[in-house]
Amino acid sequence: MTGVNRRIAAVSALWLALFPLLAGCWDRREINDIAIVLGTAVDKEGEMYRTTLQIALPGQMSGTKGGGGGTTGRKNWLMVSDVAETPKFATFKGQQMMSRLVNLSHRRVFIIGEKVARDGIQKLLDTMARDPDNRLTTLVLVAEGRADRVLNIESSLELVPAEAIREEAALFQRHPPTLKDVANILYDPGKDPMLPCISIAEMSSLDADNTNKAIRLDKLAVFRDDRLVGIADGELRDGLLLASGQSKDFKLLVPAPEGEGNLNVIFHHYAARLQPIFERERIRMRIIADGYGTVVENNSNFFMHRPEGIKKVEQAVNDAVRNRIEKAVRWLREKKSDAVGFGRAIHVRRPQEWHRMRKNWREEFSRADVEVVTMLDVENFGYNRAPFGKREEVLR
Amino acid sequence: MRDWRRKWRHRRMSMDDPHSGSGGGGSGGVKKGDSAGKNNEGHGGGQGGGGNGNGNADGGEPLQPSLAANEERLGHILQDCSDIAFRRFRIKDGREALLVYTEGIVDSAETHLHMLMPLLFFVDPGLAEKGADAAASQGVSLSQMRRIDSVEQAVEAVLSANVLLLVDGYAEGAAFNVKGGTRRSVQEPNSEVVIRGPREGFTENLRVNTALLRFKIKSPDLKMVRFVKGTYTRTDIVLAYIDGIADRKIVQEAKRRIEAIEINSVLESGYIEELIEDHPNSPFPQLQYTERPDTVAGQLLEGRFAILVDGTPFVMIGPITVWQLLQASEDYYERFYISNLIRWLRFGFALIALYLPALYVAVVTFHPDMLPTTLLLSVAAAREAIPFPALVEMLIMEVSFEALREAGIRLPKTVGQAVSILGALVVGQAAVEAGIVSAPVVIIVSLTGIASFTIPRFSLAITIRILRFVMIFAAAAFGLYGLVIATIMLVAHMCNLNSFGVPYLTGVAPFRGRDQQDIFIRTPWSRMNYMPGTYVQSRRKRTDQNTKQGVHESW
């Protein structure tokens, strides 16, 4: 054996000897030793937090195994829940009921119960930044009532409710807020959180004796700092979405300008700009709503296909949008919550002014004038002039 | 280059050659063959053509004037060689003569027509005074002849397809090259099939192979230097290069290394490859081999050299870079869109062949967070009932796939069917259904298998197969971190490699702008103006001017 060979042998022996020493450091973990958490719900019971984990049961999900199986009755997920002084510690206690290690890296949604939200969400967020297991891209939602109940509603369209909630959030608004967004907003005095809000909907089923439950996402939870101050629905919610530019394929139902019935308009292109205007003592916030929409339904006896008809439709649309935004802003001022982010707009446009007023921004905000400018066009009426299937003589 | 010599000397000393001591004729003959090759460099055509002009310089047993003595001596040496024929006859002028040749490897029809017939019937009696040589050269109508002075030369000539003519009364003989016998004819190469491109492949016959090259490059600059190696096999080796394109230093180095070889037998070019490569311990091939004359011609024209070995259709090319091993000859025949697309596909699949199984092991055992959630759920579902860790599962499948492939190569075609059924049904489907391995692993192993078949050079494909296992172990031990470390070590090793002094990654490391025309993209021929800089003596243009046809500027 020559010197070179001996050296090679010695180096390889050293390498091999190192491997057993490393055994303790290996964080090797097989996929069938981890519990993949897809969603978390946090609720409050007295002074204690209840954390509920929704864990995927992959074995139930796919049909690779032969021998029947099917999906009858058995759920694709497991709910594990426990109560403790802090939400994270409740997770640890939940871990003690499971044979697999909790893995949070695939958590899609983080759902906050209404009661927790009213008490303040900051306490929930600390662990998100501290524990590397968490992902800041998790979506944050508020549940009306108890969060764990909503998280356990089966969706026939997705394998797991958490996934269904995430998809619904992506359809509901343009940029559903993630943990990272929420944390950013909480740091910023010029903006308050506005989170999508889910609730349980009773869906009447075709089976006469049975009602199905579904997860409905159609509300917005508005915060002041980290506390929930109101849940907006209907026109109020529309106004908030429109003012913040968060609306996605916004659908507007307006009464026909003349005659009876309604028009249905969808805005595929919509953007809102905030423009602060300083006038001596006062600030005027101008909201510019811009976009164009398509009439998808004319359920009235109004005949649009004349220049003045088009003008009237556009007028009605602009009025409706302005009304909704004004209503929403009025409501926000009442709640002293700057969920749309006027403060941030001032910060961006006039940093000096902002540093002067950021201390008592809430007061300033409740006094500020708001002006809504709408520049919405209706571009597409469809090619059939009259309402489909209606004789022209009954039109107005 | 620098440590090449050290390694080389070491290997040569350890080489076991029990016969080098005995029979001084044997090793002496090797040297003479080399010098013959050197002298012959200029007109590298004729096999055995006149190289022995320096006569009986280095001793050996001289031939006797007596024919009977010579016959007895040769008969003794070639005792029990039933394929050697001794034909005693009388030349027309009355002298005794003897023909010695090996049956089967000489063309007997030609021998009879051009040697026996004229000597028996038509020899001018006046020639008798001028020796066997003169008699033969004027009586025998064969082109390749050389003079034989010693017994060793005589034996060597007889065994390498010469007909030896000995005439009574002369202490010399004449050997005529009448190479014949049956060998495989030129056929389509099996190991490198192309859709577009020449269909002819090299054969086992060295002279056919050199002819195939000469058909393609009709230039006096194509040099073919001959060497003879192997104490027993006396194998002809030809070093081909194009003078004026190839770097003289590299060619000189190649000659030096081939000359330095001392070995008993050369049965395939692989013997030579292992003896002359720069880094015998590296898993990477440092010489390319091919069965295709067009590939060799293309490489020669880019300034490389080729080593042809008699008895094998595989010709070696050097110096090479790793990029060259990822290129197929078809890249240059198809239009450049097609060849670029296919080349990128190949690059991509080479990476898949190397990394995919390791990546799977790393992601599944260390970083499940890197997979998209839905994909993770399907993988988790498939793995739910599997009793093995991902590493073991992957190894089971990879090893059985390698075994399957090995079995498939060796088996006769009729049995091959059975192997593929066994492989597909038993190993694939049944293993998944029984819950022993998971479906994603089967998918990955088969994808990897396909990927390794896309690499055009088998030698590089094997290297990648070996390294794949290294990667799997690195990934299983340290996850993606291990994979990155292994990759860094691999790249460092490749940067350290060179082939006849040319860095293995030439073009990328060291970076050369002009070489970019033919590494990741193959530029159209109208734009490919330069030879790759490393091998070429001077930066020589491929074309004298840009001769793009069919561009109508008046339009």
Residue A380 in any domain: the answer is yes
Question: What is the Cα–Cα distance from B247 to B506, expressed in whole angstroms?
Answer: 15
The reply to whether B520 falls in a domain is no
pLDDT digits (tens, 9 = 90+) for B381-413: 888 888 999 999 999 999 988 988 888 888 887
Report pLDDT for A6: 87
Instruction: Return the pLDDT at A161.
Output: 92
* Binary contact (A36, B390; C-beta < 8 A): no
Whether B346 has a pLDDT exceeding 50, the answer reads yes
Does A65 score more than 80 pLDDT? no
CATH number at residue A239: 3.30.300.210
Q: Can you give the C-alpha Rg of chain A in angstroms? A: 27
Phi, psi angles (nearest 5°) of residue B31: -65, -40
Q: Does A207 lie in the same domain as A291? A: no
Under DSSP, is residue A269 helix (H, G, I), strand (E, B) or coil?
strand
Q: Cα A154 from chain centroid?
A: 19
Find which of B376, B394, B438 to mutate to test the A interface (most A CBs within 10 Å of its CB).
B376
Q: Are residues A102 and A207 in the same domain?
A: yes
Q: Which residues of B touch A31 (CB under 8 A)?
A: 364-365, 368, 376, 379-380, 383, 390
What is the tens place of the pLDDT at every residue in A317-326?
999 999 999 9
What tens digit of pLDDT does each residue of B521-538 get? 888 887 776 666 555 544
Structure tokens at B416: 């091959």
Same domain? For B121 and B195 the reply is: no
**Average pLDDT score over residue span B182-189:** 84
Q: Tell me how crowded residue B305 is: count the other CB atoms within 10 A of its CB.
A: 27
The residue assigned the tokens 């561009």 is B551
Verify that A312 and A376 share a domain, yes or no: yes
Q: How many CB atoms lie under 10 A from the CB of residue B337?
A: 10
Cα nearest neighbour of B387 on chain A: A32
Mark whether B288 and B375 lie in a shared domain.
Answer: no
- B170 and B190 in a single domain? The answer is no
CB < 8 Å from A in window 412-451 of B: 433, 435, 439
Is A36 inside a domain boundary?
Answer: yes
Task: Answer yes or no: is pLDDT of B14 > 50.
Answer: no
Nearest residue of chain B to residue A66 (CA atoms): B433
Element (H, E) at A198: strand A194-204
At residue A359, the pLDDT reads: 86
Same domain, B66 and B205: no
Distance from CA of B504 to the nearest CA of A (A): 23
Determine the average pLDDT of the residues in A155-182. 91
A159 touches chain B (CB under 8 A): yes
Q: Could you give the CA distance from residue A268 to residue A248 in angstroms, rounded to a whole number?
A: 8
With beta carbons less than 8 A apart as the criterion, state whether B332 and B522 touch. yes
Residues A45 and A194 in one domain: yes
Q: Are residues B300 and B190 in the same domain?
A: yes
Q: How close is the nearest chain A Cα to the Cα of B78, in Å?
A: 42
Position of tokens 């398509």?
A294
A185: in domain: yes
Lookup: tokens for A54: 């929704």
On whether residue B517 sits in a domain, the answer given is: no
Contact B378 A163 (CB under 8 A): no
State the ipTM, two decimals: 0.83
B384 φ, ψ (degrees, to nearest 5): -50, -45
Considering only the beta carbons, identify the residue of A27, A66, A159 that sits closest to B366.
A27
Can you spell out the DSSP letters for A210-248?
-EEEEEEEEEEEEEETTEEEEEE-HHHHHHHHHHHT-BS
CB pairs under 8 A between A and B: 74
Identify whether B508 is part of a domain: no
**What part of B 535-554 touches A (C-beta under 8 Å)?**
none
pLDDT recorded at residue B317: 94
Q: Report which residue type is found at A176.
A: P
Q: How confident is the model at residue B496 (pLDDT cuts 50, 70, 90)?
A: very high
The phi-psi region of residue B169 (left if phi > 0; otherwise alpha if psi is between -120 and 50; otherwise beta) is left
pLDDT per position as a tens digit, A276-325: 888 877 888 899 999 998 888 888 888 777 788 888 999 999 999 999 99
> Which of B365, B377, B386 is nearest residue A61 as measured by Cβ atoms?
B377
**For chain A, how many structural domains are there in total?**
2
Let me know if residue A141 belongs to a domain: yes
Give the pLDDT score at B518.
Answer: 84
Same-domain pairing of A223 and A270: no
Which of B455, B474, B499 is the C-terminal boundary of a domain? B499
Domain closes at, from A198, A231, A264: A231
> Is the pLDDT assigned to residue B190 strictly greater than 60?
yes
On whether residue B429 sits in a domain, the answer given is yes
Q: Do the Cβ atoms of A2 and B364 come within 8 Å?
A: no
Residues A140 and A170 in one domain: yes
**Statement to judge: residues B85 and B137 lie in one domain:** yes
Degrees (nearest 5) of the Cα angle B375, B379, B380? 115
Position B343 scores a pLDDT of 93
> What confidence score (pLDDT) does residue A150 get?
92
pLDDT for residue B350: 95
Q: Note whether residue B204 is domain-resident.
A: yes
Residue contact A31–B390, C-beta within 8 A: yes
Please name the residue that has the structure tokens 């490919």: B528
Any domain includes A9: no
On whether both B158 and B277 belong to a single domain, the answer is no
* Together in a domain, A379 and A286: yes
- Which 15-54 residues of chain A touch chain B by CB within 8 A? 19, 22, 26-32, 34, 36, 38
Q: What is the pLDDT of residue B95?
A: 79
Instruction: Indicate the range of A187-196, A339-348, B113-122, B465-474 predicted with least confidence.
Output: B113-122
pLDDT band, very low/low/confident/very high, at B134 (cuts 50, 70, 90): low
> Looking at chain B from residue 196 to 255, which residues have their Cβ under 8 Å from any Cβ of chain A?
none
For residue A178, the distance in angstroms to the closest alpha carbon of chain B comes to 17
Domain boundary among the residues B177, B198, B214 is at: B177
Burial B258-269 (b: 16+ CB within 10 A, else e): bbebebbebeeb
Q: What percent of chain A has pLDDT over 70?
A: 90
CB contact under 8 A, B368 and A31: yes
A13 within a domain of the structure (yes/no): no
- Among A178, A213, A231, residue at a domain's last position: A231
C-beta of residue A224 within 8 angstroms of C-beta of residue A336: yes
In a domain, A23, yes or no: no
Assess B378–A contact: CB distance below 8 Å, yes or no.
yes
- pLDDT surpasses 60 at B24: no
- With respect to residue B554, please indicate whether it lies within any of the assigned structural domains: no
- What whole-number distance in Å separates Cα of residue B511 and Cα of residue B505? 9
DSSP B42: G
Of B368, B379, B384, the CB nearest to A103: B368
For residues B248 and B278, is the Cβ–Cβ distance under 8 A?
no
**Among chain A residues, CA nearest to B476:** A28
A295 touches A265 (CB < 8 A): yes
DSSP-assigned beta bridge partners for residue B305: B318
- Both structure tokens of B335: 């239009």
Cβ neighbours of A162 in B, within 8 Å: none
Examine residue B39 and state whether it is found in any structural domain, yes or no: no
What total number of domains does chain B contain? 3
Same domain assignment for residues B239 and B376: no
Secondary structure class of A8 (helix, strand, coil)? helix
Residue type at A355 in one-letter notation: H
Question: Do B196 and B314 have their domain in common?
Answer: yes
Q: Which residue from A34, A64, A103 is facing B382, i.e. has the nearest CB?
A: A64
Domain of residue B446, residue span: 339-499
So what's the pLDDT on residue A70?
42
Q: Which of A201, A231, A261 is the last residue of a domain?
A: A231
Give the list of residues 6+ apart from residue B79 with CB closer than 8 angstroms, or none: none
Per the structure block, which two tokens stand in for B518? 């033919």
pLDDT over 90, % of chain B: 36
Q: Are both B229 and B121 inside the same structural domain? A: no
Mean of all residue pLDDT scores within chain A: 86
A219 vs B8, more confident: A219
Mean pLDDT (chain B) is: 81
**Which residue, among A373, A393, A268, has the nearest Cα to A321 in the 3D structure?**
A373
pLDDT of residue B240: 95
Predicted confidence (pLDDT) at residue A229 exceeds the cutoff of 70: yes
Percent of chain A predicted with pLDDT > 90: 53
| Whether residues A363 and A245 fall in one domain | yes
Residue B47 has pLDDT above 70, yes or no: no
- Claim to verify: residue A367 and residue A319 sit in the same structural domain: yes
The whole-number average pLDDT for the span B296-306 is 91
Structural domain including A93 reads 30-61+72-231
Least CB–CB distance from B365: residue in A30, A38, A62: A30
H, E, C per residue of B312-346: CCCEEEECCCHHHHCCCHHHHCCCHHHHHHHHHHH
CB atoms within 10 A of CB A171: 10
Report residue B78 CA to chain centroid gap.
32
Angle between the B67-77 and B151-159 helix axes, to the nearest 10 degrees?
60
Per-residue pLDDT tens digits for B72-128:
989 888 888 888 889 888 887 777 888 899 888 888 888 888 888 888 877 666 655
Q: Are residues A200 and A108 in the same domain?
A: yes
Q: Are residues A116 and A239 in the same domain?
A: no
The reply to whether A227 and A269 lie within a common domain is no
Nearest Cα residue in chain B from A158 = B374
Axis crossing angle, helix B373-383 with helix B439-453, rounded to the nearest 10: 110
Residue B56 pLDDT greater than 60, yes or no: no
- Looking at residues B295-310, what average pLDDT do you find? 92
Please check whether residues B272 and B349 belong to one and the same domain: no
**Residue A387 forms part of a structural domain:** yes
Residue B421 and residue B424: Cα distance in Å, rounded? 5
Is residue B157 located within the same domain as residue B217? no
Residue B547: predicted pLDDT: 46
Residue B539 covered by a domain: no
The pLDDT confidence band at residue A48, using thresholds 50, 70 and 90, is very high
Torsion of CA B309, B315, B317, B322, to 10 degrees: -140
